[in-house]
């Protein structure tokens, strides 16, 4: 079965749209193949993603798995592909069915227990998601305020793989994150160096 999801790859400060395709072929020799010019950080993510699936209560597919990151000529080098690949594995193995895949892009690094870690470039990814016409963007909770700066885009903060599945299945209602200006200024508006002293 084939599953397709949308995510982004950072190229400098620009977020480039990437389509994640996951195909599982039953009855073939069990093997996972990752193609699409994935750098070491992405290639090494497969065992971590598989353990995150199992530790979140899902079944690890044991058939032949092909994961394609398109466009193939674009280098992919961040752990932000973990969540879309994990969701793709669940969808391709019939453990997840969602009509939201075409409307929401997904980013996030998975820990072994299935929780989500922050990624770099969430603001750029949110800008690109809006430009590409997506309704929303699923991001780790720690990235939600950064991404919520972008108007006209639903930023859905998820803390784990299970929460992402629940939202995409429409079993879990998660309100879009609202940008908290004062909170963000307090958090990000402090600097160790004051150039007044230079």
Q: What is the pTM of this model?
A: 0.88
pLDDT level of residue 44 (50, 70, 90 thresholds): confident
pLDDT level of residue 189 (50, 70, 90 thresholds): low
Handedness of CA 113, 2, 76, 34 (dihedral sign): positive
Coil, helix or strand at residue 110: strand
What is the token pair recorded at 179? 């940008």
108-128: pLDDT as tens digits: 999 999 999 999 999 999 999
Tally the C-alpha atoms within 13 A of residue 16's C-alpha that lie toward its C-beta.
15
pLDDT level of residue 183 (50, 70, 90 thresholds): low
Mean pLDDT over residues 152-179, rounded? 96
- 139, 117 in Cβ contact below 8 A? no
Sheet strands (E) in 79-171: 104-106, 109-110, 116-117, 136-140, 154-158
Residue 143 pLDDT > 80: yes
Give how many domains the chain has, as a whole number. Answer: 1
C-alpha–C-alpha distance, residues 143 and 157, integer Å: 8
Residue 37 pLDDT > 80: no
**pLDDT of 153:** 97
**pLDDT of 84:** 97
C-alpha–C-alpha distance, residues 181 and 113, integer Å: 32
CATH of the domain at 89: 3.30.230.10
Residue 155 pLDDT > 70: yes
Average pLDDT, the chain: 90
Mean pLDDT over residues 11-35, rounded? 88
Q: Which domain holds residue 77?
A: 2-197
- 73, 37 in Cβ contact below 8 A? yes
Tell me the CA distances in angstroms from 34 to 21, 24, 31, 49, 150, one per residue in order: 10, 12, 10, 13, 32
> Of 108, 114, 120, 61, whose CA–CA distance to 89 is shortest?
61
What is the token pair recorded at 177? 């994150």
**pLDDT of 185:** 58
């Amino acid at each position: 079965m084939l599953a397709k999801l949308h995510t982004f790859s950072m190229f400098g400060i620009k977020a480039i749209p990437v389509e994640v395709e996951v195909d599982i072929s039953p009855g073939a020799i069990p093997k996972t193949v990752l193609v699409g010019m994935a750098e070491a950080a992405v290639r090494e993510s497969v065992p971590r993603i598989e353990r995150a699936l199992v530790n979140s209560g899902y079944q690890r597919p044991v058939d032949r798995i092909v994961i394609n990151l398109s466009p193939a000529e674009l280098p992919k080098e961040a752990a932000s592909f973990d969540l879309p690949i994990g969701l793709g594995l669940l969808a391709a193995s019939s453990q997840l069915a969602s009509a939201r895949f075409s409307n929401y892009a997904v980013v996030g690094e998975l820990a072994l227990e299935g929780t989500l870690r922050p990624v770099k470039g969430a603001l750029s990814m949110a800008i690109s998601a809006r430009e590409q016409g997506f309704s929303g963007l699923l991001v780790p909770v720690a990235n939600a305020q950064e991404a919520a700066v972008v108007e006209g885009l639903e930023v859905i903060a998820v803390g784990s793989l299970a929460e992402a599945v629940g939202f995409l299945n429409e079993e879990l209602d998660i309100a879009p994150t609202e940008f908290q200006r004062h909170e963000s200024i307090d958090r990000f508006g402090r600097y160790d160096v004051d150039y007044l002293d230079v």
